[in-house]
Amino acid sequence: MERTPMRVLWGSVLFLTVALIIALVFLDRSPRLMLIQHGTPEVPGGHAFAIMNPFRNRRPEQVAEELISDLHTSRCEQILRGLHPEDPRLCPTLQKDTNATLIWREDGNSVRVLVYDLPNSKSRVWITSTRDEGGFVVTKVSLIR
């Protein structure tokens, strides 16, 4: 029987659809946060990246991104006062560099550590949050340059 280009095309589409469904089922059941990771987040300006599991719990990231958004304002020092930051350059750096990208995440039993890259200042912001009765609460913010 002769294969027509249309049969080959539909066969390929069917194969890719089945493969995609299997991959999504695997990812949904995978407890891993980062599917692929390279480098280390400890070196600012270094090459660290991770491909995140699309089915992970994103609530800690939402809390961290809300904090970063608030720190871009003139209220930065007032917001940080309760978190006791170790680096006084945190507010000036975050007010100048508004492009924070999540590059790393580590989850413990009740602690989440998220690392955001600030490419313009070649810095990294580390945000630690813990699970509280109401959800996740940021407990520590630090800057590595």
| Residue 25 pLDDT > 70 | no
What's the pLDDT at 27? 59
Q: Which of the two residues, 45 and 42, has the higher pLDDT score?
A: 42
Question: pLDDT tens, 49-66?
Answer: 788 888 788 888 999 999
Mean pLDDT of 36-44: 80
Predicted model pTM: 0.76
- Domain spans of the chain? 1-30, 32-144
Name the one residue in this structure whose structure tokens are 């007032």: 78
Q: Say yes or no to pLDDT of 47 above 80.
A: no
CATH says 32-144 is which class?
Answer: alpha beta
Burial of 49 (0-12, 13-18, 19+ CB in 10 A): middle
Residue-wise pLDDT for 104-124, tens only, equals 999 888 899 999 999 888 889
Question: Using CA atoms, how far apart are residues 29 and 32, in angstroms rounded to an integer?
Answer: 9
User: Rounded mean pLDDT of the chain?
Assistant: 84
pLDDT score at 30: 55
Q: How far is CA 16 from CA 23, 36, 54, in A?
A: 10, 21, 19
The dihedral through the CA atoms of 79, 84, 85, 90 has a sign that is positive
Residue 39's pLDDT band, with cuts at 50, 70 and 90, is confident
What is the DSSP track for the chain?
-PPPHHHHHHHHHHHHHHHHHHHHHHHHH---SEEEEES-TTSTTS--EEEE-TTS--HHHHHHHHHHHHHTSTTHHHHHGGG--S-TTHHHHHHH----EEEEEEE-SSEEEEEEEETTTTEEEEEEEEEETTEEEEEEEEEE-
Task: Band the pLDDT of 125: cuts 50, 70, 90.
Answer: very high
pLDDT at site 50: 86
